[in-house]
Amino acid sequence: MTSSTPFPADLPRYESLGLGAAQSELEQFDHLTAYRQLGPIYQLTFRGETWVAIGGMEANEAAWRNPDQWDYHEALPPFRELMGPSHVTQLDGEPHRRKRRNLKPGFAMSAVFGLIPAIDHSVAGDLRAAAGQSLRLHDFFMLALTRANSRTLLRCDFDDVTAATFIRFEEHFIRGTSMGEARHAYYALPGFVADRAAVFAFLGELVDRRLAGESAGDNFDAMIAERRERGETLDRAELIPEAYLLLMAGTGNTAKLLNCGLQNLSQDPAWLARLTAELADYTPEKFLGGMGAFPLLKATLLEIERLFPAAPVLARVVAEPFTFNGYTLEKGTKVLHLQTLPHFLDEIYADPYRFDPARWIDREYPKKAQGTYGGSTHLCLGINLVRLHMPVVVANLLRDYRLELGEQPRITVNVNYGVPQVADLMARFEPLRAAV
């Protein structure tokens, strides 16, 4: 917020709660206590700046009602800096709507659904190749999912060295997005500069081939073809980050959810046994009709999404005066939208810190109580993909393997809500049958 931006003088202050000194990391705040004691809107100091936090069902309703009240261009500069000015995440208004339209042939449910058997085939092969080895679960999932993307959404020759470079780049890139100004030094590290150059060179050559007429029959082709039909110009610099989205984006978050979920599942033997029984005769074709035949799997995944939202808080900047709960925030105000706070309210989800998939059986919760993928027009582009990747991975794993988790940090949910770091969870997949 600039010093000239008027600020509601009587807005409650987080610091008045006496919960601790100024905080530097998001997870150091206790937003649940603040929400209970101060209400759904309050101010706080975060990394030396004043922000306004909004949370609860009413905040989700208000924040998602009118997406044009937010300025994404100002809120997410790291995406622009690294991916270029046309990257979807930081576009607003009509350019954003146009971009989402252009991305649809790549990510709509109708565009990804038919890929289930191919995704399954790829994941099953990677599980077989990894069986019996002790591995870092997070790395394995990122690699398996990115490889699956390279065989479905963006078909390309993606060898192990290239895959490792992409994964290093993505992890470094995403870590930097939450570092504030410190990201500049982080992104200038020579290893990252080299990885970035390699990633962009790889995708640049791929885009050049497609623009020259090469066809791979994949989702990228569909995106390009639809734009051609509409008579839109095809811009190389715009297509490169789009190819990146198809190949790699979000796999770290999916891996995180799978890590957390599998650890919690392994600690609930009764539910795990029922779920394993449900998946005993899983085939990918059975998912083509939806998840109806797998109610326990569906419930398990919804619970994983609830308890481990990989991006629990969204940074926003007010674009036009925004009135919420009697306070008006002026243009330029920095807002932390605690969009997943309702996941941890016991008036909505009983005993909210408990991993309890059964809570989803025969029961629905309000849409605005679910913030894992954000909401409104900037709703996660990859949501349909995640909701295929996760069931395919879990179904293959439980049907064919016993998961042995190694020496591991206990994954607890942050008391303030949020996601713990789980990247160092070790595991081994032991085949249940010789033929796997």
* DSSP 8-state class, residue 330: P
Closest approach, Cβ 132 to ligand HEM, in A, equals 28
**5 burial via Cβ count (<10 Å: 0-12, 13-18, 19+):** middle
Tokens of 212: 């020259």
- Nearer to ligand HEM (CB atom), residue 134 or residue 421: 421
* Helix/strand/coil for 163: helix
- Nearer to ligand HEM (CB atom), residue 141 or residue 271: 141
- The C-alpha torsion from 242 through 185 and 52 to 83, rounded to 10°, is -10
- Nearer to ligand HEM (CB atom), residue 382 or residue 391: 382
- Nearer to ligand HEM (CB atom), residue 379 or residue 415: 379
- CB count in 10 Å sphere of residue 103: 18
Closest approach, Cβ 316 to ligand HEM, in A, equals 8
Closest approach, Cβ 380 to ligand HEM, in A, equals 3
- Nearer to ligand HEM (CB atom), residue 124 or residue 419: 419
Euclidean distance between CA atoms 213 and 236, whole angstroms: 14
By the 8 A CB rule, do 154 and 122 touch?
no
Quick one: angle between helices 160-177 and 251-266, nearest 10? 90
- Nearer to ligand HEM (CB atom), residue 343 or residue 399: 343
Closest approach, Cβ 300 to ligand HEM, in A, equals 14
Question: Count of alpha carbons within 13 Å of 303, Cβ hemisphere only?
Answer: 25
Euclidean distance between CA atoms 275 and 399, whole angstroms: 10
- Nearer to ligand HEM (CB atom), residue 100 or residue 121: 100
Residue type for position 14? Y
Sequence-separated contacts (24+) of 23-27 with Cβ below 8 Å: 26/178, 26/312, 26/313, 26/336, 26/418, 27/414, 27/416, 27/418
Instruction: Report the interface residues with ligand HEM, using CB under 6 A.
Output: 88-89, 100, 245, 249-250, 253-254, 257, 309-311, 314, 372-375, 378-382, 385-386
Note the Cα 363 to chain centre separation in Å.
24
By the 8 A CB rule, do 99 and 88 touch?
yes
- Nearer to ligand HEM (CB atom), residue 314 or residue 398: 314
Closest approach, Cβ 269 to ligand HEM, in A, equals 25
402 phi, psi to nearest 5 deg: -105, 125
Closest approach, Cβ 281 to ligand HEM, in A, equals 27
Euclidean distance between CA atoms 186 and 81, whole angstroms: 13
Which residues neighbour 22 within 8 Å (Cβ) at sequence distance 6 or greater?
15, 45, 46, 48
Closest approach, Cβ 385 to ligand HEM, in A, equals 5
Euclidean distance between CA atoms 226 and 361, whole angstroms: 40
- Nearer to ligand HEM (CB atom), residue 177 or residue 372: 372
Closest approach, Cβ 315 to ligand HEM, in A, equals 9
Closest approach, Cβ 374 to ligand HEM, in A, equals 2
Nearest to 399, CA basis, from 321, 308, 294: 294
Tokens of 112: 């990804």
- Nearer to ligand HEM (CB atom), residue 38 or residue 319: 319
Tokens of 124: 């099953």
DSSP count for the chain of H helices, then E strands: 18, 9
Element (H, E) at 315: strand 314-317
Closest approach, Cβ 388 to ligand HEM, in A, equals 10
Closest approach, Cβ 70 to ligand HEM, in A, equals 8
- Nearer to ligand HEM (CB atom), residue 100 or residue 172: 100
Closest approach, Cβ 212 to ligand HEM, in A, equals 25
- Nearer to ligand HEM (CB atom), residue 38 or residue 378: 378
